[in-house]
Each structure stands twice: as structure tokens, then as C-alpha cells.
Amino acid sequence: MTKPTGLVWHELLMWHDTHALAGFMQSGRGVIEPDEPSESAAGKRRIKNLLDVAGLTEQLLLIKPRPAREEELGRVHHVDYIARLKAMSDADGGDAALGDPVGVTPFGPGGYEIAALAAGGVLEAVDAIMEGRVANAYALLRPPGHHAEAARGFGFCIFNHGALAARHAQLVHGLQRVAILDWDVHHGNGAERIFWTDPSVLTISIHQDNCYPPQSGLIDAIGGGPGAGYNVNVPLPPGCGSGAYLAAMDRVILPALRAFSPEMIIIASGLDAGAYDPQARMMLGGSAFAAMTKRVMNVAADCCDGRLLLNHEGGYHRPSVPFLGLAIIEALSGLKGSVEDPFEPIIAGMTGQDLQPHQDAAIRRVEAQLSDV
């Protein structure tokens, strides 16, 4: 491969402040003792650190974020949501979920500037891909984006990076069809709703069934109006390993992508389907993420000259997450770092990695749904 893989990274994004959380819950009121937030800088910083130590960073092309402008954010998000965020950020920070405790998304003073910088990093990555400066790109950023909806943040997400990237590719670079594949273990509710009636953006989410948000990501949510058939949910039962994920890729997701023939593919790349993630019950290791990455790269190579952008989303087990990220970026770039993943052989040995009959049945239900459309 002659073109490098791009890496979006900016130190200021690591200063996004989520400390009002203990795990994923707001602490306080004599119920939850304060503790560390699950969505923290450390989880992302450790990925970057491992890329550095493994010798990969210096072989990637660093894409430097710039702040997304309000009108760029306004392509996806409501003006009054943006204004409320700015007001909170100019004061002492606040909650981008606007008080919904299920989606609590705290940020600190100056948090708007950080969130806008993350969003701008994604836009820069789209530019770098479209202009051919990089073969593909991984945007290693926070806050995450895939739960954010048009008029509110949710689930640690403030702006919807996948949606903003898709609109940027369409509006600035003139693309017609963009596909968003969300392999974060939680449902990609944001893109589903934002593009519900829009057939120009295919949205696919593979996730643990009814894990988060509650009652979201069901199989029969296929989009509406002209967008009907352009939203695909692949809910899997808890406990799936690489067998189930790769079967779902091969039987459902890749065919859907090919049928749509996107001009760019965007992946909401949560790593929380990893085998040690506290916030879901799946069992993937680095090799599974690498295999999924390569499969999508193949589609991208066939459909759209390899144009592929991965936006980092969830992933909460600090010791192992860096190796999942490393595996993906090695696959994307064709490079091989100097560090071996010590978790991979343990995860590979876990009972349940192969496709199980009840997992096969879950995938068959999606296949049936799709053949109806």
C-alpha cells in the first residue's frame, strides 16, 4: 500500500472532563460513591500510547483536528442544542443529555470547544480521505459520538461524528451514498434516527440485543418513508464471540453494504464488544476486530476505492482495549507493530467463540427481515 493510514489525534480531546460519572452513572445523593468514570481519557490515551510503543504512530499520517464550525455542526444538530451546549460550556459545564439520567453526558467548562474539536477532527479525516492524502483513517477521539441525536447528547456522546462525516462527504465532497456501520456493542441510535427517512445514508448497527439504550436497536426498525430499508439492526444475544460476529458480517452486513454500493464507508468503531468490557457481554479479541476490519476494507476497495473512516466510540476495559485498537490499525495500514497482544490467546481459548445455534438463529432472523425488504 503506498498511501498511509491517517490517525486523528489531539491532546486537548483527552482533557474532556467526565468525572461526574462513577462508571456510567452520575455519582452523588448518597447512593453512588464517587469513583472513576468509565468514559475517561485513560482508555483512549492507552491506545495511543501502545501505538507509540509498538512503533506504529510514526508510520501513520497524523491528521490534526480543527474546531468544527457551528454551521458544520448544524448540518446534523439543532441550533438550540448547540446554543445550550455553548452556554453550559461557558459556565461550569453541564450535561449534554439535558437531564436524562439514562443518557447522562457530563462535560466541564470549555467542553464545547473540546467537542467541536473532536467533530472537526472527523471532518479533517473525511477531507484527507477524499483528497487522497490517506488510504483510510482512524479518528482516535473523545467524546464519542454514536449515541448523540440531532437535539441532544446521549450516552457520553455530544456530537454525532458518523453523521457529521457523512454529511460533510455529501455536502463538501459531493458524494451521493455513504454507509455507516456501527460495531460498537451498543446500538447506534443516533445515526438511525438522524437518517431515518434518508435513503442516501445506509445505517447498519450490530450490537448486543437491548443493551443500551434500552429498547433501542430492534430488528424491525428499518427506517421510514423514503429511508425505509436503509436502516439495518443486527441485535445479537449476550455472549457472542468471533464466530457470531463474523457470521453476521458475512451473511448480513457485507451483502447489505455491497448492495448499497457506498461511495464512502464510515465505521462507528466502539471496542466494547471486547471480551473484558464491563459495559456489555461479548467476547471479541484483537483478531476478530482485525478480521472485521479487513472484510469491510475489501468492500470499500470494491465499492469506493477503499475510502474508509473509523471513528472511535466506546471501549472501557483499559488494559485490553489498546490491543483491540492496535489490531484494527494494523489491519487498516498493513503495518505490524513490535508488540504481541497478550490477551488474544486467552480470548481465543474461551468457550463460546464459535457460532452457536442460538446465535445463528438470531442472524437468521435478520436475514429474514432483510429479504422482506
Round to whole Å and give the CA distance between 327 and 257: 22
Candidate residues 74, 110, 243, 255; the one interacting with its own copies per rule CB under 8 A: 110
- Under the criterion CB under 8 A, does residue 74 sit at the interface with its own copies? no
The verdict on whether 10 is a catalytic residue reads no
Residue type at 236? L
The answer to whether 287 contacts its own copies (rule: CB under 8 A) is no
For residue 319, whether the previous peptide bond is cis, meaning omega lies within 30 degrees of 0, is no
Verify cis geometry, omega within 30 degrees of 0, for the bond prior to 345. no
Q: Record the cell numbers describing residue 76, joined without a space.
A: 446534523
Is position 30 an interface residue for its own copies (rule: CB under 8 A)? Answer: yes
38 close to 26: Cβ distance less than 8 angstroms? no
Pick from 342, 354, 364, 373 the residue near its own copies by CB under 8 A: 342
Report whether 123 contacts 76 (CB < 8 A).
no
Alpha helices (H) along the chain = 41-53, 70-73, 79-90, 111-130, 161-171, 189-194, 242-248, 254-260, 286-304, 321-333, 344-348, 357-372
* 28 part of the interface to its own copies, by CB under 8 A: yes
Q: Rank residues 27 and 261 by Cβ distance to its own copies and give the closer one.
A: 27
Amino acid letter, 361 = A
Closest distance between its own copies and the C-beta of residue 164, in Å?
22
Amino acid at 34: P
Beta bridge partners of 201: 178
Q: List, in order, residues 6 or more apart from 124 with CB less than 8 Å away.
A: 8, 63, 64, 65, 66
| Of 127-135, 251-259, 262-270, 315-323: span binding its own copies (CB under 8 A) | 315-323
Considering only the stretches 88-96, 154-162, 186-194, 195-203, report the one whose residues sit in contact with its own copies under the rule CB under 8 A: 88-96
- Main-chain phi, psi angles of 212, to 5 degrees: -165, 135
| Closer by beta carbon to Zn ion, 67 or else 314 | 314
Q: Is 270 in the site for Zn ion (CB under 5 A)?
A: yes
Residue closer to its own copies by CB (options 170, 320) is 320
Q: Is there binding between residue 86 and its own copies (CB under 8 A)?
A: no
369 binds its own copies (CB under 8 A): no
Q: Which stretch binds its own copies (CB under 8 A): 4-12, 176-184, 254-262, 294-302?
A: 4-12
What separation in angstroms does the CA of 168 have from each of 196, 210, 312, 320, 344? 18, 31, 18, 33, 37
Retrieve residue 207's grid coordinates. Answer: 450490537
Options 123-131, 194-202, 255-263, 350-358: segment touching its own copies (CB under 8 A) = 350-358
Is 188 in contact with 180 (CB distance < 8 Å)? yes
> Which is nearer to its own copies, 33 or 71 (by Cβ)?
33
Looking at residues 147 to 206 of the shown chain, list those that interact with its own copies (rule: CB under 8 A): none
Q: Which of 198, 272, 341, 344 is the binder for Zn ion (CB under 5 A)? A: 272
Identify the active-site residue in 10, 16, 147, 312. 147
Stretch that binds its own copies, among 17-25, 152-160, 171-179, 255-263 (CB under 8 A): 17-25
The correct pick among 39, 124, 182, 184 for binding Zn ion (CB under 5 A) is 184
Q: Name which of its own copies, Zn ion, none residue 178 binds, using a CB cut-off of 5 to 8 Å depending on partner kind.
A: none
CA angle 140, 142, 147 (to 5 degrees): 110
Measured distance CA(246)–CA(53) in Å, rounded:
30
Measured from the CB atom, the residue of 263 and 341 that comes closer to its own copies is: 341
The single residue among 291, 339, 367, 369 that binds its own copies, judged by CB under 8 A, is 339
Q: Is 243 in the site for its own copies (CB under 8 A)?
A: no
> Which residues are catalytically annotated?
147
